Amino acid sequence: MKKVTFIIVALFLSGCAATQGQGGLFGPGEFTITQADNRFEESKNITYYSSNNRISTKSVAGGTHIDGKGVFLNPVAVRSSDNSSLISVLFDIYNMTQFDTAYGGPNRLGILSKVSFVVDGQSPIVKEVEGPNSDWADVPYYNSVSRSASSDIIESGAIFLTKSEYEKIMNASSLAVKVSGSERSVIYEPSDITPDFMANLKTFYVAHIK
């Protein structure tokens, strides 16, 4: 199957993940893994996707998220129809943020372009974001206190990895991540990355990549 097909799948799954409550009031929710419905796919390949794998509680602007917004890297695996072989591994990436008429969008990255991983101080693993997109909510909401209107935004895309690259990232003793976009970039130092993020990578690997 051609790579472009996987991009379409990844972006479709990004939309699915966004509907699962990752922008909750008290956090992104529990990490979940779901098998996609492949009844309408000619290849019958099996796709496993995940949701709620937020990198950090650190916001793009440098504050701390107390809500479910932030930057997420959700692992996705495409396997053969008989589940015997791995076809593709990727991260469904998105930044869940907002724009407000009073203070702008300090946590926006813009159109996502690149994600870089520094594993244990080695040369970076640099991945271009494929199929980047920026979706704004259809209906803004009004804050009577600040007298401003705001709109939720999901900045999304996909990055493809080899199995060995995924394993390096997953097994890192020290991991730093930089996510770049057209508006700004954000760097997550090892101390910023939540333990759950790394644990979720391992959970997904054991279940559907190994």
Q: How large is the C-alpha radius of gyration of the chain? A: 17
Which of 125, 123, 140, 38 is CA-nearest to residue 73?
A: 125
Q: Which tens digit of pLDDT belongs to each residue from 141-189?
A: 788 888 889 899 999 999 999 999 999 999 999 999 999 999 999 999 9
Q: What is the pTM of this model?
A: 0.87
Q: Which tens digit of pLDDT belongs to each residue from 95-135?
A: 999 988 888 999 999 999 999 999 999 999 999 999 999 99
Q: Which tens digit of pLDDT belongs to each residue from 12-57?
A: 444 454 444 445 556 789 999 999 999 998 999 999 999 999 999 9
